[in-house]
Structure formats: structure tokens, C-alpha cells
Structure 1
Amino acid sequence: MGHAIQRLTAESDNALTLYLVIYAFHMPAFAIISGYFSKSVPPTKRSMLRLFTELIVPYLIMEAAWSLVKFMIDGTTSFDPTTPSWTLWFLLSLAIFRLVLPYLALLRWPLTISVVVSIGVGYLNGVDSTFSLARTLGILPFFVLGWKLSTTDVAGWWLSSRRAVWWIRAAAVGVFVTLAGLIWSTTPIWRDMDLHHWLFYDDSYSRLGADTLLAGGMRILLIALAVVLSASFLALVPRHATVITPLGRATMYVYLLHSFLLYPLRESGLLGGAHSSATWLALMMIAAVAISLVLASDPVRRLFRPIIQPNPRWLFASDAIEDDPSLPRVSSRVDLVHRDS
């Protein structure tokens, strides 16, 4: 939804409000969930192979596909895996998270250290989008927070609690409504400071126009806000299986494929300008939901499984998979994060 309405934000305060609310928490929430389903034990042969088959190989395949799409649309001829195209940066971030977590787990205060790293990297102009490093270090605290939460029983308590949870959910709705109201009533301020760039976690403070010690305080506030919003969002998720639960297991397909549908539309010039009304905003929101449901459907998953969940057994040395003949076969769980990652 955020990607679908982005072109409307320049002209529409309503679109900008929704966009900022989404970007204030959605990537941090993904990182928290990814961390929750990650293990801090030393990597095994199986986990290392899955790192390749679930993240690295799909990343290279999709980067090649993006090069073809950009050539067809705007004539750009470039293939540079060191600079992720649009949404693909999160694949590299996940790979790096999985690699460094066993080492972070050895530290006494991994969460505190990750927050310091996130704040400090903003002062380093040399850390940029190469290999998605700036964003990876910027959202590292959320991944570590998710992992720390997995060592507690907070999720079990929430899912099994028989106490009334309506007041928690009411408070969560109140958080989002309050934030949306504050943003909507002060949109000129956020436009002037380009707040959305702050929410990307991929630029240094100097490139954001805030090369001062106070810039680190701004990131602290955004981290705290993202944690509150992520908790509020997760509190609104149903605690039992619903009709769309099976579709939720296909998040990798939605994540990797939706941008190929939205990119031509974004570049067509159709959105924005006169097409920034509330009607267009509502249409794009509905379209975003429809695209997600279609991309999570069984026919799409069967068609694109070879590139989203490749099985490149030929890539690995025979002794790398001989201990487990099933490696690296396709996992039965088709989601973005895995319990034994």
C-alpha cells in the first residue's frame, strides 16, 4: 500500500499522512518479526545452505529481472548487485542479520549496542546503500528486539490470555488515529523536513540536512515511535486462524513480485498531479490489497516458485549436502521468515 500511494503524496496531504504512518513502522515491524523467528545458535550446514537458497539466490535472480524491466521501461542498462533495486534491499539485510546474530548474542547488551550502532551509523557518510549496509545497520535494533522477545513468553501470553484484550486493541487504534491526526494537521512541517527520508534509515544525517548531534536524538525518537506502532499493529492482528491465514504464508511472493506490477504504473505518469484526489487514494489502496491477494494465490505461487524458491542443488558441492539429502529442497513454509533461520 505504501508503494502504491507514493506518487500521490506530493499533491495529497491525505496520501502523505497514510504514507508516513505506514513508513513509521512497517519496515521495523518486518525486522522485529524476522528477529523473532531467528535463532542465535552458531550456523549449521543446513542454515547456511538455506541462507543461499532463500535469500542470496533469489536476490540475484530478482536483480537480474529488475535490470530487464528497467531496460524495457526506461532504457537503463545496468546490473549492479552491490546496489539493491527498490525493495530488494531487505533480502540483503535479512542475510546480514542472520549472519551476525550469533555474534551479537555473545554480547552482554546486544540490544543497547544495536541501538548505538543505528544512531552512530547516521554520522558516517561513507556508509551508504552499497549492499544495503546503511539500512541494515539502521534497523538492526528492531531485529535484535524481535530476537530478544523470542526468549520471553510475551507472545505465548498474548495468544493464550483469556482476559479481555479489547482495551489493548482500543489503545492500539487510538495510537494510530492520534498519530495520523497529528501528521495530517502538521503536514507542511513534515514536507519541509522530508520526514519520509528519515524513515528510510538509509541516509546519513548530513545528507538529510541535519548534520548535528541532535540528529541522533531524532533517530532515537523514530526508533521509539516504531516500537510503539509495531506493538500496536501486532495487537490488532487476530489471535486465531482466519480465511486469509494461508495467504499470509506467501509473503515472499507478495514482497518480491508486487513491485514489478507497481513500477510500470509509477513510471507511467498516471499517478500524481490531477490524479491525487481522495478517490485515487482509495482506488490505489484497494488495488494494493487486491494485488497482495492475487500474488499470494496458489496459481501465482506455482508459476513463480522456481525463481522465488529456487532449488539450485547444482550450485553446492556434493559433500555440502550429503549429510542431508533433502537439502536444499523447498521448505514447506512459504513465508519471509522461518523458525529455524
Structure 2
Amino acid sequence: MSAPSPATGSVARHRRRVPYWDNARFACIVLVVLGHAIQRLTYDSDIAYAMYLVIYAFHMPAFAIISGYFSKADPPSRRQMARVITDILVPYVIFEALWWLTKGLFEGDPDPNLTQPSWTLWFLLALGIFRLILPYLALLRWPLLWTVVISIGVGYLPNVDSTFSLARTLGFLPFFALGWWLRAHDVVGRLRLLERKAWWARASAVAVFLLAGWAAWAGLETWHGMDMRNWLFYDQDYSHFLGETPWWAGGVRLLLMAVAVVLCAAFFVIVPRGEFPFTRLGTYTMYIYLLHSFVLYPFRESGALRDLEPTWIWLPLVCLLSVVITVLLASKPVRWLFRPLVEPRSRWLFADAALLPHAGGADPTGSRRPAATDRPPSRG
């Protein structure tokens, strides 16, 4: 029997499931839930605010890097185009409708407007836009440089705002492009970045986060004055923070992007390489991402997370509850119940049923998984 060709071996390597990426997805989604959970605590607790700043400095850039790593820059096939509809656009419309209903019931102001994503839904639109423009970016020389220019430049344009989440999408575009670039140039493979790291590498990564935490804590007065939390959302033009738009305003975003890359690098070093009980949960990040906001909504809007003292009890408790919420939302019963909303088949939309994704498939972040075992029973 002849040995497999290098190309065949390369394909096999890429198709083999690597627990590391599921671990990274799970860690990212825990940080998403945690960041949203402690948001109300930041009004009354300086340490919660410092923690919030560190999380928001890198967790969505890390998610965008992972999504970009598993994205292809080839012109999309008909099946891939259909996946944009089934995995992104249809869930977006479904969950926007759920938010209109929720706001109508509890706030009396549903404000139905598909052009203004509700809370966490901006990232679904961002993923869709990322996928649409990546083939064009890949045609350019220095694509990463162009995305940085776009991200910085969009901050000078007040007319690019939250409509279709365009400001935020273009703001985070460099991180998505960076993930794609790392895969396209096999940087992870050539530098053996998925191999177990030496203790000093992990210690250095931990030191980076300790330094970030110290900087967030020591500069609290400055960060409050700058409205730093909103800078990290990448969704406002510079005049929103500075009252005007000085020429150097883009330098602030560039610096924040550099900080994000350093923290993301440290994060990816710390993520464990092996397989753990939580590893498989990393394949269901979209369930957690789309559903957790409904779980947190009553706590945030009722004021239950305000004026909680002492912080040293409540902050760790909220952190623990965030992990519990994350695990529960990725559990099999929850997936079984909400699969028609999170992963709608949308058969009626397509003239060609062959375009529908295969069982198992992948979520919008590129997380591939085996054929689903948690589907609702067939109705024949």
C-alpha cells in the first residue's frame, strides 16, 4: 500500500478534531457570559469594573480570531451560501423576534427594527458580513493592514453606526482577518503552537494577565474619565468619547487593538491542549451565546445585581453562576428544546433541498461536530 501524499496527510490533519479549539471556544463563551453577568456590578465595585475591562479588552477579539481561523477565503459554494442563510440570517430574525416579544412584555417598548441588533445579536451579523467580505480581502496585497486601516478609519465616520452592527463589525474585522491569516499561512502548524507549552510560557501568559489586571485597577480613575468600557465595544465614533475628532484619535483604537492581540496571545497559550469534560461543550457555543442573554435579562433589568455587598462574596458567586449557566445552556436537554431556534433547518426557504446542511455540520464560528444526537423526534 502506498503512503498517503503530503496533500492527503494535510487534509487529514485539518479534518481531525483538535480538542484545543473546543477548549478555546468554551473559555471564550464563559468569558462572554461572565462579562455580561458582572456588568451591573461594575457600577458599585471597582474590582468588578477592572475585571470587566480586562475581559472586554480581549474576549470578543479572541472569538473573532477563532471564527476567522476556521473560515475560508475561497468564493463560496452554493451550499456555503445556504449556510449563511440557515446559520446566521434565519437565527438572527428568530431571536430578534424573541427580543421584540420580551421587550414588549416587560418594557412595553418592543421597537421592532431588524437593522438594529438587540444586545448580543450583533455578532451574528458580524459573522455574516465577515464571511461575505473575506474572499475580497484575500485578493488584496497586505489584507491585514487594510483591515486595520478600515477599523481605525471607521471611527472617524459618525454616519457608520449600529445600523446592521456595521461600526462594530468593521471595528473587529482585523481580528477575524488575523485568524484567517494564521490558518492560510499555517502559522499554528509551523510554529507548533498547539503543542503543550513549557511552564515558563504559561507563567509568562499568566503574568501578562496579572499586568493587565494591575493596569486596569491602578488606572481606574483614568479609565472612568475616558469611558474606556465603551471604547472596548468598537461601536462608537471617536467624537462620542472626545467631543470632537482629533487626528490622533485613531491611535487610541490602534493601541487597544495591540493590547487585544497581546492578551489574545496570552489567552491562547493558557488554554489547555487536552480533552476534558467541558471540551465538547465548546462545540455548542451558539446555543450559549444566543440563549444566555435571556437568562441574564431579568437579573440585569430588575436591579438584582446592584448594591451587592460585600464584593468579595458576590463577585466570585456571580462568576461561579456564570460558569453554571454556560454549562446548563450547552446541556443536551436545552439543545434538544431550542435546536429549532438556534439551528433551524429552514427547508421551506430553498428550492433545492440538497443545499441544506448535513446533520451535525458546524456553527457560525466554524465548530464542526458529529451528527447530532439531540434532535427532536422526527414527525415522519
The residue matched to 1:124 in structure 2 has which SS?
coil
Residue in 1 aligned with 2:343? 309
* Contact 1:253 1:296 survives alignment (8 Å): yes
Q: Deviations over 1:95-123 (max 9, x none)?
A: 00000000000001110010001000000
Task: Give how far 1:251 is off.
Answer: 0.3
**8 Å Cα contact 2:38/2:52 also seen in 1:** yes
Shift of 1:277: 2.0
- Partner SS for 1:138: helix
Q: Give the alignment of 1:130-145 within 5 angstroms.
A: 130-145=163-178
1:243 is the counterpart of 2:277: yes
Partner amino acid for 2:298?
A: P
Q: Deviations over 1:148-186 (max 9, x none)?
A: 000233323435546x52211111100000110111122
Matches within 5 A, 1:227-238: 227-238=261-272
**Separation in structure 2 between the aligned mates of residue 333 and residue 20 of structure 1, nearest angstrom:** 35
> 1:183–1:278: structure 2 CA closer, same or farther, 3 Å change rule?
same
Tell me if structure 1 keeps the 8 A contact 2:79–2:357: no
Change (3 A) 1:121 1:276: farther
Of residues 128, 133, 146, the one that matches 2:179 is: 146
The answer for the alignment partner of 1:289 in structure 2 is 323
Q: Quick one: which of 343, 360, 367 aligns to 1:332?
A: 360
- The alpha-carbon deviation at position 330 of structure 1 amounts to 5.3
CA–CA distance in structure 2, aligned partners of residues 280 and 230 of structure 1: 27
In structure 2, distance between residues paired with 1:77 and 1:151: 43
Kept in 1, the 8 Å contact 2:150–2:170? The answer is yes
Letter in 2 for 1:16: Y
What TM-score do the two structures reach when normalised by structure 2? 0.85
Query: Structure 1 residues 170, 270: closer, same or farther in 2, change over 3 A?
Result: same
The answer to whether structure 1 residue 123 and structure 2 residue 123 are counterparts is no
Please tell me the residue identity of whatever aligns with 1:130.
Answer: T
**SS at 1:158 equivalent:** coil
Deviation of 1:276 after TM superposition, in Å, equals 6.6
* 8 Å CA contact retained: 1:37, 1:337: yes
Deviation at 1:339, TM superposition (A): 6.8
Q: Is the 8 A contact 1:55 1:95 kept in 2?
A: yes
Residue matched to 1:221: 255
Identity %: 56
Q: CA deviation at 1:266?
A: 0.2
After TM superposition, the runs of 4+ consecutive aligned structure 1 residues lying more than 6 A away are none
Aligned partner of 2:210: which letter?
V
Pick closer, same or farther for the CA change 1:130–1:258 going to 2, 3 Å: same
Q: Say whether residues 1:179 and 2:212 are aligned partners.
A: yes
Alignment partner of 1:89: what SS?
helix
Q: CA deviation at 1:77?
A: 2.5
1:278 paired to 2:278? no
Residues 265, 146 of structure 1: CA spacing in aligned structure 2 closer, same or farther, 3 A cutoff? Answer: same
**Alpha-carbon distance in 2 for matches of 1:280, 1:221:** 33
Equivalent position of 2:141 in the other structure:
108
Query: Offset of 1:21 from its aligned partner?
Result: 0.3
Q: CA deviation at 1:316?
A: 1.4
Gaps of 5+ in 2: 1-33, 369-380
Q: Displacement of 1:275 after TM fit?
A: 4.5
SS in structure 1 of the partner of residue 76 of structure 2: coil
Counterpart for residue 33 of structure 1: 66
Structure-1 residue corresponding to 2:106: 73
Residue 124 of structure 2 corresponds to which residue in structure 1?
Answer: 91
| TM-superposition CA deviations, 1:244-301 (whole Å, max 9, x none) | 1111111010000000000111000111224572211111111111000000111111
Aligned equivalents of 1:160, 1:143: Cα separation in 2: 19
**Change over 3 Å in CA distance of 1:298–1:239 after alignment to 2:** same
Tell me the distance in 1 between the aligned counterparts of 2:79 and 2:152: 34
Between the aligned partners of 1:40 and 1:339, the Cα distance in structure 2 is 17
Q: Shift of residue 19 of structure 1?
A: 0.3
Instruction: Note the residue ranges of structure 1 that are not aligned, 5 or more in a row.
Output: none
TM-score by length of 1: 0.94
Cα distance in 2 for partners of 1:166, 1:152 equals 27
**Matched positions, count:** 333
Q: In 1, are the aligned partners of 2:167 and 2:234 still within 8 Å (CA)?
A: yes
